[in-house]
Amino acid sequence: MRLSRGEKTFYLFNNLLLIIAGLSCLLPLINIAAISFSDDGAIASGFVGLWPVGFNFDSYRALIEGTPILRSFGNSLVITGFGILFSMVFTILAAYPLSKKIFGGRKFFTLAIVFTMLFGVPTIPAFLVNRELNILDTYWALWLPGLISAYNMLVLKSFFENIPAEMEEAAQLDGCGEWKLLRSIVLPLSLPVLATLSLFYGVGYWNGFQSLLINIISTDKYNLAVLVQGMIANQSLLQNMNNLQPHELEQLITPESIRSAGVVVMLVPLLIVYPFVQKFFVKGVMIGAVKG
């Protein structure tokens, strides 16, 4: 189909705007990565652009030796890994029965869940609930309050509803029960949306900051997000890093390079994982949002 002149003009400006928006997100990240690998003199002089000047790993070495970043990285992996597992299991267990027309209370429970999307949970009541449950200073205080996202559950419910009923009926005629039907038929057909929702949950747990500061008391349980924010906000922490082992470094490390190195370490795992789930991303969201 040939495009009209107006449509060509629209697509041209649309593509230009998308390119500008993409570059506005990408270029700052490239600049941060370049600063983390650059010489301190070039950073202080403002000569670093999109390519490292005086390539070195001093900031990363100082970051590893002067901060508990490896421990925080491990904490982030634990929080994110188990958080995704728990959230996906309970999201599936909530969405599957609500997608069945034979479930008598499906409309009531669906409306009740949608109603919770209209109001956010205040910080103080959430803290008090966690305290009464005796889960403060444990990762359960991060997992339980956000165990199920109402939006993610509704997307998964819509996806389950689009699975042909004939497939389920054929499996049931062969003696397949509900649990085996879910495990052997429904979930394998739902891989695109499951991968997409796992990415949503994973990004939320990996970048978790405020809830962790409120509910976790022990500093040895902090994740990367809290550690990087502390480096950005606390100038004395960066100064202490320079005073720890100055004889092992050729020169003092600038705060900008250490902060940039921390940001890079925090972003790299997401950048590695995203390409593997990208092929499921659009398909998973669209199938769960549009009736077939």
Residue 19, pLDDT score: 93
pLDDT exceeds 70 at position 67: yes
Residue 252, pLDDT score: 56
> For all residues of the chain together, what is the average pLDDT?
82
pLDDT exceeds 60 at position 228: yes
pLDDT tens-place string over residues 31-46 = 888 988 888 778 777 7
pLDDT exceeds 60 at position 251: no
The CATH code belonging to domain 57-289 is 1.10.3720.10
* Rounded Cα distance, 121 and 130, in Å: 13
pLDDT band at 139 (very low <50, low <70, confident <90, very high): very high
% residues pLDDT > 70 (the chain)? 88
- Average the pLDDT over 274-289 and give the result: 63
Poorest-pLDDT segment among 135-144, 159-168, 238-247, 261-270 = 238-247
pLDDT tens-place string over residues 77-117 = 999 999 999 999 999 999 999 988 888 888 888 888 888 88
